[in-house]
Structure formats: C-alpha cells, structure tokens
Amino acid sequence: MTTPHRTALALACIAAIVASAAHASDTTELTLYRSDSAALYAGNDGGSVNDGYAVVREQRTLDLATGTHDVVIGDLPNSLDAEALALGFPDGNAKVISQRLLLAQGANAALTGLVGHAVEVLGAGGLPLANGTLLRAGDGLLIDGITGTTLVRSYASVRSTDGKFPLGSSLALRVDAARAGTSRAVLSYPTSGLGWRAAYVATLQPGATCRMQFEARASIANRSGRDWHDAKLTLIAGEPNMAKPSAPQPMMAMARGFNAKADAMPQQDSIGDYRSYALPGAIELPDGSVSQVPLYASRAMDCTRTALYENGGSFQPQQPIVNRDFNQGGGNAVISTLKLKAFDSLPAGYLRVLTADRNGTPQFIGEGRIDDTPKGSDATITLGTAFDLRAERERTSFSIDKAARTMDEGFRISLSNAGDSPRTVTVREHPGRWRQWVLLSSTGKPSQQSPDTLEFRVEVPANGKAVLDYAVRYSWTADEQPQ
C-alpha cells in the first residue's frame, strides 16, 4: 500500500525532536482482508511485503507534558497508508497539531523505531560516544543529551537504555496537552503486509462411497515489519474494491496462533456484501509468520469423486461450422475431480486432499482452489490425472445436407482401465459446431444433457475396456449461413 508522499516522508528530516516515547500498544484490533498473494505466504528470506490489506485499530498510552511538545509512537508497520492514518484522544486532554510518518526503510530501518527513545551510542571496543534521546537516524545519529546535542557519524552499535527496541515505522506527533500525565490515544490506519486466506484439508474415508473428514482453517500471514501481540482479529471474506494499488520476505515461521478453547469457533456475520469472521481469542502474529486458526469445527461430510474425460467447451460460433476437421479429436488424459456441497459459507482458499495408504498413513493426492462458495452451493476441484485410465476419441462419421441445411457427426470414445477395480468414467462432450443440435443415437443414455453439453457415465471393467459411440445432428435456417 503506497501513497505518492511515501518517498518524501521517508526522507523527512526531524531536527530537534524532544520526544516522549509511547508505551507499547494496550489493545489492538485487526481487520484482515483476503489475499492470495504468493509473497505473503512464501518462505523465502527477504523483507516486508507490500501485498495484502488490513485495517488496524489500536490504543496507546502516552506520557504527555503540559503544552505543546513532541511524542513518538513506534512499532508501526513498514507499509501503511499515511493519508488514512488517524489519531485522537478520547479523554479530550490533548489534540494533535501535526504528524509525520517515519518509515522503517533503507539502511537505517532498524534505528527508525528508536527515534524518541533513550539510547547509548558505542564505538569500537564498546567505548561510549554519546547518550541521550535519539532525535534522528539518517546521515549519522543526532543525540540530545545532558551536555547538548551531538551528531555521531561513526559508531559501532546503538543500545536502547530503556530496554525497548521498537520495530517497524514510527509516527512523530506534535501535540498540545492541557495537563501532564498519561493519556490514552486511539490510532487507526490501513496497512499492507497482512492478509489471510482459507486453508482446507479433506481426508477421504475408506469405503465404496465418497466420505471425508473436512477441516477448515484460516491462514494468516504477517509480513508487515512488526509483531502483533494479543490482537483481536476479524477476517473479511469477499473481494472489496481497493482504489489504491498495493503499495519480497522473512523466513516463515509456521505457527498455530489460536489461543482460544478448542470448541470456540469464529463468530460469522454479514458486513455489507461480504462475510466476516470474528475470532474468539487473542492472537499472536510474529512478523514473518503464517499462523493458522480454525474457521469451522472438523466434520465428516459427503463428497463426489469423478473420473472425467471432457472435450470442447462453452464456445458458441456465430455461424454453423461445416469444416470437417473442426474439433476432430481429444487428448488421452482422464481427470480426477472432487466435488462437495458447502455446509456453510466457504471463503476462497485451497483444498488439500489426503487418503490413507495400505498402512493407514495419510498421503497427499491433489490440491485445488475453491472460490467463495455460499452455503448450499457446490465446489469442485481437480485432483490430477488418473494414472490407470486412458481415453481415445475419433470421428466415425461426418456428412452435410446443404439442401436440408443439416449436418450429422459421430464420435467414438474408447476407454481403458489398467487398474484392479472397475471404474466409472464421466464422458462430457460439448457439441460446438452450432447451437441447434439433437442427439441422433448413442450406445448409452446420457446422464445429463443441456444446450451445450452431452454427458455419459461409462462403466469400465478392471483391466478392461469400454466404448461409447454417439452421433448428433446440427440444423440451421436459411438466414444462418455456414462458415
């Protein structure tokens, strides 16, 4: 998430900030939006990521002095939208005069979070060079100490003397407080580097019918440049439009960040045209991590497995196609698919399918993406290519009667099964020469027929073969000229 002012903010010079550091965040609420960005979930070493979208609402306790002075709030994400950042004091004790965002980028990114904190600068061999409040980290370190302001250009290390080393970006505030003391500030902003997507695991159960144990989780990625402690999370399912473009990656620590009771599930609700999932417990999101929390309780459910051989598609020509060689044959692969009916709203994500081998060990047999699926709707994924099944398709007849304005075409699909168990193969054909057609003949009754689809279920014996023959007739009117 970037703004046109990011470069200017990163280069802004903060000369003479007499800063009081903000305490660590007291309460944090995160609203995360779904993201399929590979960079968010990847395990490569690198930096923070500008993909993803989240809205942050957090409370900070600030130590304020009377009158106008400067305060620095640290531990902010690396990439946040400065134009949408808002801060207020609910008790009315103070007001914000101005604010500047100090982005944790470049060679001095690690020091940006220390601006406004008490530090000790050390030279070679641990020799103390300066100590005081860090005013600026850029072309040298500007330190405000007891003896005055010191610019240190050559140093070996910097030590935080108050025991804090904030990560991420910082927000420099000039505030006007009516009285001295602690005051609670509410900070909200959108940021990138955070996102989530659904992660499903289906373990097929043994038996002749298709049954599976279904697990639904949310994978939550944090590449924002800071840790989030005890955060309350709300996950948004759907695709809101983002007007601004998104502004690759630390080593990923796979973690189960769910701290709530095992039987506590997210509270689902509608928000506008989308679905929301409010997680019941506080979540730890370390920077560079992908955490998983349950979306629904694990359950057993029915499914449908299909061995599919499909030719053609939904293409509809503008005129009848009379070229004999059109759509002559198909490939040999028979595709294995899995279909399920959504027991509740299923957010978009990836479904991994496992089945037990002869030793009872779950083995991976395929993965596919599920789009946002409302309750009661079907979701189908492709598992892969069936190893023991093969198909061949050949045209067996073709003729045109121009006077009658008809065209007949026949095909033969030969199926083979090298496995030790009989299989049912679904043959799906899409007559695509013209929109007007009828089935003339077939060796088996269609299991499904629609304006652009013919579907047959063919039984193929173990270590055997089966053949499907069918023919269709296309027709057109005098006003519809063939190509």
Which CATH number does the domain housing residue 324 bear?
2.60.40.1180
Task: Name which of 116, 142, 119 is nearest 60 in CA terms.
Answer: 116
The predicted-structure confidence for 195-222, as pLDDT tens digits, reads as follows 999 999 999 999 889 999 999 999 999 9
- Decide if 47 contacts 249 (C-beta within 8 A): yes
Quickly count: other Cβ atoms within 10 Å of residue 371's Cβ: 10
Among 34-38, 110-114, 322-326, 467-471, name the most confident range.
467-471
Percentage, residues of the chain above pLDDT 70:
86
Q: Is 67 within a domain?
A: yes
With respect to residue 201, please indicate whether it lies within any of the assigned structural domains: no
Phi-psi region of 421 (alpha: psi -120 to 50; beta: other; left: phi over 0): beta
Confirm whether 299 is domain-assigned. Answer: no
| Residue after which a domain boundary falls, among 191, 226, 261 | 191
Q: What is the mean pLDDT of residues 44-51?
A: 65
Q: Which helix (H) or strand (E) holds 10?
A: helix 6-10
Residues forming a β-bridge with 29: 57, 232
The predicted pLDDT at position 73 comes to 86
pLDDT at 299 (0 to 100): 97
Residue 103 CA, chain-centre distance (Å), reads: 25
Q: What is the pLDDT of residue 458?
A: 98
Residue 245 lies in a domain: no
Measured between alpha carbons, how far is 224 from 285 in angstroms, rounded to an integer? 10
* Same structural domain, 313 and 186: no
H helices, E strands: number in the chain: 3, 32
Decide if 382 is inside a domain: no
**Residues paired with 274 in a beta bridge:** 271
Q: Which pLDDT score, from 0 to 100, does residue 12 have?
A: 28
Distance CA 357, CA 313 (A): 36
State pLDDT tens for residues 226-248.
889 999 999 999 988 776 554 32
Q: How many domains does the chain have?
A: 2
Rounded Cα gap, residues 282 and 238, in angstroms: 23
Beta carbons within 8 Å of 7's beta carbon, 6+ residues apart = none
- The C-alpha atoms of residue 169 and residue 9 are separated, in whole angstroms, by 11
The amino acid sitting at 213 is Q
Q: Look at residue 468 and tell me if it is in a domain.
A: yes
pLDDT for res 47: 54
Give me the pLDDT at residue 48, please: 62
- pLDDT given for residue 357 in this prediction: 93
Length of the chain: 483
Question: How many angstroms separate the CA atoms of 249 and 246, rounded?
Answer: 16
Q: Do residues 162 and 311 share a domain?
A: no
Give 130-181 pLDDT, tens digit per residue: 988 888 887 788 888 888 898 998 898 888 887 766 666 788 899 999 999 9
How confident is the model over 83-104, as pLDDT tens digits?
888 899 999 999 999 988 877 6
Within a domain: residue 379? no
Query: What is the per-residue pLDDT for 44?
Result: 60
Domain containing residue 168: 6-191
Which of 174, 191, 208 is the last residue before a domain boundary? 191
* DSSP element (H, E) containing 41: helix 38-41
Q: Which are the contacts of 318, defined by CB distance < 8 A and separation ≥ 6?
A: none
Tell which residue, 188, 175, 189, 187, has the closest CA to residue 93.
175
57 versus 168: the higher-pLDDT residue is 57
The three-class DSSP label of residue 18 is coil
Cross-sheet strand order for the sheet of 128-138: 148-152, 140-145, 128-138, 118-122, 157-160
Q: Does the pTM of the predicted model rise above 0.85? A: no
The dihedral sign for the CA sequence 132, 170, 195, 1: negative
Asked if residue 291 is part of any domain, the answer here is no
Q: What's the mean pLDDT in 417-440?
A: 96
Cα–Cα distance between 301 and 210 in angstroms, integer? Answer: 9
